[in-house]
Amino acid sequence: MGPQIPLRVVIVGAGPVGLCNARTLLDDGFDVTIVTADDGVGGVWRHTFPELGTNSPWGSFTFSGLEMPKPPGDGSTIPAGMYCEYLEEFYSHFVKPRATSWFHTKVMTMEPGKAAGWDLVLESPDGTRTEHFDRVVLAVGSLGKPHLPQGISNTVIPTFHSQDVSFEGVQSVLSLLAPSDDLPSTQGDADTVLVVGTGKSAIDNAVLFAKQRRKVLMVGRSFKWMSAPVKPDFIGSEWLTAVMGPVRNLDSRTQWFLHCTTLGGLIVSTAWSVLKKKYVSHRPDHPIIPHFDSHSPSLTSSAVLSCLDSSPILTQGSLYGPEIVQPKTNIHLDMPRFSVGLTPEFTDLVSSGRIAILTGADVVGADDKAVILTMADGSERRVRCGAIIAATGFKGSGKEFLAEEWRDRLGLTRQPMRLGWRGRVKSIRKGWGSVRPTAPIVDREIDLPLVYRGIVPIGRYTERDLVVAGGSTIVYKPAVLYEAESHLRDLRHDL
């Protein structure tokens, strides 16, 4: 009997999830091929702009077997460029010598094979070809394609999505605008860069170009951010979510005690109340962020901190001060500390007038010189600019190479809740002593993909020849989750 031919596995995507899965599958003896449209590994981290940092601290992105150098400064966050270099080193050490890598290669279509496995139509500079694989790992994330508001999708004003503002893209934007020490205005001019959006990417881009002496005007509906003004040294996010937070299955006696007994429920509610009051509240006179009061959203495990909605930003003060301590590095505090939209640089630039802000605005159109906005009061406004940065998110799932019919059959599209779900949820809720609502609970129907444990699409549960890796789970410790997920062989059958 001859040697057994290893199963052929393709990993679509070469970001951290794809590389982690590649190493695990190579160690387990599979024939692994990596496919990516990029010219190298890194995934979205390959398309970053200078000074972008990760949302989690040093240590939470480190894979086993390869230490990550400590970042410069206080080491609080990892520069995106440094993280991409780490992924390239990981690839060179663990994956490159043993795997087949196809760069500059797009997956055009993907369908089940006639007998088993999957057929992928690939497009590369050498042409189009069809390849058959026994197993497929989709490591394409969840961002999809860059989204541009319809009003600016066809304007002659140079327009860049925030994803395009990489190291090369920054120079393209800078070349369009003359440097100036004049302060920007909400009317704009030919040398103003208009940043559309008010989220994390918009803030990062605004800071980037303001520091390059370009006039920056941000427009959007309102600002939303998560902010922890005081570091909660006594607690870590993984402890909160594993023990104190709501879960569907109680896997330990500790969880049962905390969530199903009166005393335990009192402990849980008290702990969250203390965290809410002491570590998330803001000074009433804080100049940038509104005061956190009893009407703000309650704390949950998926949002340890409150998401606060502000009207136009006030323009004095700084985020940190004598009473608000700037956080230091602690990998156990990534959620309370690093899911933050505001930075000291941003608030200081707003305070000094280097970044102008216009909220309550929707982009509805553009001509050859200006962007047209509809304001909250219904009025129309024109804002001149020389370039547009659209920090407006993404649309789709990144899996458009699968026909819509197959996405539906696999369970990768959002599906409505099945009949009887309200009764089951309420039945579970009755047994939880830690559920102590201060207001009536409103049950909402949320359509979700049918992906078992966030890994196996329900449409291939029996075959288990298709895996969705990453992009379907809230991540607190990315490296730990990715590695654990890559080893779940009981869910992957032979994969």
From first to last of its 495 residues, the chain has per-residue pLDDT tens of: 455 788 999 999 999 999 999 999 999 999 999 999 999 999 988 887 766 777 677 778 889 899 888 877 655 677 888 889 999 999 999 999 999 999 999 999 999 998 889 999 999 999 999 999 999 999 998 777 888 888 888 899 999 998 888 777 788 899 999 999 999 999 999 999 999 998 888 888 999 999 999 999 999 887 755 444 444 444 545 566 667 776 666 677 888 888 888 888 888 888 777 766 665 544 333 333 333 332 232 222 223 222 223 323 332 333 333 333 333 333 333 333 344 445 668 878 888 899 999 988 889 999 888 999 999 889 999 999 999 999 988 876 778 889 888 988 898 888 777 766 777 777 777 766 666 666 677 777 777 788 887 888 888 888 889 999 886 665 667 888 888 888 875 444 454
CATH fold of 8-144+396-413+449-492:
FAD/NAD(P)-binding domain (3.50.50)
Q: How far apart are CA 317 and CA 212, in angstroms?
A: 22
Work out the number of other CB atoms within 10 angstroms of the CB of residue 184: 24
Q: How far apart are CA 369 and CA 287, in angstroms?
A: 35
What are the backbone dihedrals phi and psi of residue 112, each rounded to the nearest 5 degrees, phi first?
-60, 140
Angle, helix 262-274 to helix 253-260, in steps of 10 degrees: 80
Q: How far apart are CA 331 and CA 157, in angstroms?
A: 43
Contacts of 251-254 with C-beta under 8 Å, sequence gap 24+, read: none
Among 399, 337, 455, CA closest to 74: 337
Task: List the structure tokens of 217.
Answer: 């005007």
Domain 145-225+347-395 has CATH 3.40.50.300: no
Residue ranges of the chain that CATH labels 3.50.50.60: 8-144+396-413+449-492, 145-225+347-395
DSSP E strands in 396-490: the ranges are 451-452, 456-457, 466-468
CB 204 within 8 A of CB 165: no
Q: What is the pTM of this model?
A: 0.73
